[in-house]
Amino acid sequence: MMLNQLSSGDLIADRRAEYAHMLADSGDHMDAADLMTQALELVPDWAAGWFRLADYEEKSGRKEAAVNALRKVLDLNPEDIFGAGLKLALLGGAETPDQPSSLYVAQLFDDYADRFDKALVEKLDYTVPEKLAALITDHTGDARFTDVIDLGCGTGLFGERIRDRADRLEGFDLSANMLAKAQDKGLYDHLAQADLSLLPETSGLFAGLPERRADLLSAADVLMYLGNLDSVFIIASALLGSKGLFAFSVEDADADGDFILRPSLRYAHSETYVQDLCKRFGLDILAVSKTAIRNDGGKPVFGILFLTRASA
């Protein structure tokens, strides 16, 4: 979300906020924070302004002030469209949430949709779709799939790599704008919004459609926007047919415990946590591959690809 484009509704406050943004761009975060504080004295209920102030305070090294500003954001916007709860956790002002706000994730990708493919593939060397498709091919050869369900399909990058092996291809995503981009590619037989943080009956995955219909289920580079993955594995159990395959990726936490929240505001999961989930939900692990999945800040981000099968 481009916070500098969100008006406070007050011309003087907006002007001060604009100057604050210019100061921050020049690296003067302390003066930016002071000027932003002046703007918020005029419009104290401006949630986006408080979120910007938190950013300036954090970059000025005033951690406590940033925490207080983030708490103000959540007071004004409890639905948390800005992801303030994630930032607050990273600053030590709250426990790491099991899930981010769905509204925040949807808005994030709605804003990102127009430049998503170019940014990921050309700038970040994003490789999950092709590597996940290759992992599937390594274990299934040229076998066709009756119904492939692509969870968090985005603009269809994984769909492009599995379409020629699918009799029917369904795509689901939380972002309406990402779904529109996928629709433009003409890959999918069915596209709809769905929220993977919810249980099956409220997720949007079964509206007029049967359970246990998929012989291949995918979640390529999606689960890092969720912390606790129980809902995803419950959904997978409801979608997968007998001996259906579930192929997915996570960012590699490379640590003990279940999952961690990274400064990128994405979650990373441990291999042990995923293995335990597979065991709990009746999925046999067929293959595991640790690999670089993208670049971030010029450095590789490592992930783990899994191919699993529903137990007989």
Query: Residue 172's pLDDT is what?
Result: 98
Averaged pLDDT, 181-199: 97
**8 A C-beta contact, residue 94 and residue 88:** yes
Query: Residue 1's pLDDT is what?
Result: 46
The 10s digit of each residue's pLDDT in 206-223 is 999 999 999 999 999 999
What does the block give as tokens for 222? 């999606």
Beta bridge partners of 14: none
The 10s digit of each residue's pLDDT in 222-247 is 999 999 999 999 999 999 999 999 99
Averaged pLDDT, 29-44: 97
CATH number for the domain formed by residue range(s) 109-310: 3.40.50.150
Query: Residue 252's pLDDT is what?
Result: 97
pTM: 0.94
| Least confident range of 15-19, 30-34, 124-128 | 124-128
Give the pLDDT band (50/70/90) at residue 178: very high
Q: What is the mean pLDDT of the chain?
A: 95
Task: Look at residue 3 and tell me whether its pLDDT is greater than 70.
Answer: no
C-alpha to C-alpha distance for 189 and 176, rounded to whole angstroms: 17
DSSP 95: P
The whole-angstrom distance between residue 100's C-alpha and the CA centroid of its chain comes to 9
146 compared with 257, residue with greater pLDDT: 146
Query: Residue 110's pLDDT is what?
Result: 95
Is the domain 3-95 a CATH 1.25.40.10 member?
Answer: yes
Q: Do domains 3-95 and 109-310 have the same CATH topology?
A: no
C-alpha to C-alpha distance for 192 and 112, rounded to whole angstroms: 18
16-53: b (≥16 Cβ within 10 Å) or e:
bbebbbebbeeebbbebbbbbbebbebbeebbbbbbbb
Pairing between β-strand 145-151 and β-strand 166-173 as defined by DSSP bridges: parallel
Contacts of 122 (CB under 8 A, 6+ apart): none
Query: Residue 94's pLDDT is what?
Result: 97
Give the pLDDT band (50/70/90) at residue 4: very low
N- to C-terminal Cα separation, the chain: 45
**8 A C-beta contact, residue 271 and residue 214:** no
Contacts of 266 (CB under 8 A, 6+ apart): 224, 225, 251
**Cα torsion angle, 284, 288, 293, 298, sign:** positive
Query: Residue 181's pLDDT is what?
Result: 96
User: What residues does each domain of the chain span?
Assistant: 3-95, 109-310
* Coil, helix or strand at residue 281: coil
Beta-strand ranges (E) seen in 23-135 are none
C-alpha to C-alpha distance for 183 and 274, rounded to whole angstroms: 32
Query: Residue 72's pLDDT is what?
Result: 98
Averaged pLDDT, 117-144: 90
The 10s digit of each residue's pLDDT in 76-90 is 999 999 999 999 999
